[in-house]
A and B are shown apart, each in its own frame.
Chain A
Amino acid sequence: MCESKNIYLPNLATIEAIVDETPDVRTLRLVFQDEAVRENFTFRAGQFAEYSSFGFGESTFCIASAPTRKGYIECCFRSVGRVTESLRRLEVGDTVGVRGPYGNSFPIEQFYGKSLVFIAGGIALPPLRTVIWNCLDLRDKFKDITIVYGARSEADLVYKHELKEWQERGDVRLVKCVDPGGAGPDFDGKVGFVPTVLEEAAPSAENTIALVCGPPIMIKFTLPVLERLGFSDDNIYTTLENRMKCGVGKCGRCNVGNVYVCKDGPVFTAREVKAMSQEF
């Protein structure tokens, strides 16, 4: 048998738990089947992986759980295509493939001693949830933590159980919102688009890092708000969630100009994003 390493070979993992976040968004908790992999697998917040459903192929998602939570990883996805639909049909106890972790990460150590503002839209909470839990598990190392999270409608908010936990724990300021028309009669958050709600919430930019993740349109309208609030482009981080396949800089799919999102990203500062050709 060949000795050289096959970079496309996934590790096998068992689905240990399934949470339906919304009618079409699901979280899988995965545990590696090989004991050595289970013990040695490490990653940093912001990194992604290639998840496979055998018989269908691979899809790219960030690792949504925190690196501080050992023994399992979680991914969260919306079923919109062939692979994600097939992943959604799997049940607890079934096997999936996981390649990774790939890409760069949020430089969390550099955020020690600072305040943090997380801004997420819709299904883009998972890439920040890994950082949120990573930082909450090291709560003493940070000053104020603010989370602004919005979705189109109340039903589209993911991690509802965790939003409640963040709201109630006392050391986090959670600002939850839905787009106009998306609130039910008992909704206890704000109604408005994420950039507007962020501007109203007006977190202080002093000694603060902003982490933004959402659809391109949300990012586009959020960056000027952060600028008005006094955030510099070096203190704003985001992830570019481009379509990927190989995850390792070969397949030529995820480039934005000469930046390979899978290798140079997916985490970038607003300064880096602004320096790129505007093709994302």
Chain B
Amino acid sequence: MLFIQQMINGLQIGSIYAVIALGYTMVYGIIKLINFAHGEVMMMGAYFAFLAATAGMPIWAVFLISMVGSAVMGMVIERVAYKPLREAPRISALITAIGMSLFLQNLALVVFKADPKVMPRIIPSNPIMIGSLQISNITIITFIISVVFMILLTLFISKTKPGKAMRAVSEDKEAATLMGINANSTITLTFAIGSALASLGGILYALAYTQVAPTMGVLPGLKAFVAAVLGGIGIIPGAMIGGFILGFVETLAKAYISGRWADAIVFGILILVLSVKPTGILGKNVREKV
């Protein structure tokens, strides 16, 4: 029973990691860039939600404002920091991403100050009993919201025209352009969706753990990156699987080994995956061209 309760805890944090990892993996899939500023977009999303919630907006507006705000921010980041470097060596784009991450963190520090803000409880806390299991309603809501958005994203990518364009660009940008796909606007759209998902993760994180702070994106951002690598970076279902696995591993490590080891184990997984199967769980080994 205790084990099941812990798995539910893992499901909550895992679904947040999965949502953030989706954005990571989409951006990587389309321009092969590890967007280290992704965790900071998540943090900014949480602040947008905080501002909307303290202004007394209804819950749907809080989600909408935060996600739209972050989508716009994601597009601006892409335009300003990544687009000019698209033809440059990949390491340059990586360095820019780290710079962007530091910039956003310090921007939040200047604008919102370093003290953590308390997120208003837009969803009242109300533990629910299922048999002898006692589950927080926030856990259930977090899980449902994240799963709904994952399904929406999967449908969008497989069924719609812009979704197909995304897949085409990620497969081969030049060929897609020759086929009449506007690669630039497709990349912009990817950033917008990825950033909106990051902010969704940020809102869920702030709702569950009640605080918003400029450094809050660092660790979830890194863990979402690990989740994306674990599932196979660039692969959408991989990010989800990786996110959930990471949530479970972290929770079980905290519960049955020791809290002090949880993060070490999570990052140990990254090292293990990179050395055993660098392409991740769902990744295919690419054949060398002769």
Tell whether A pairs with B: no
Interface, chain A (partner B; CB < 8 A): none
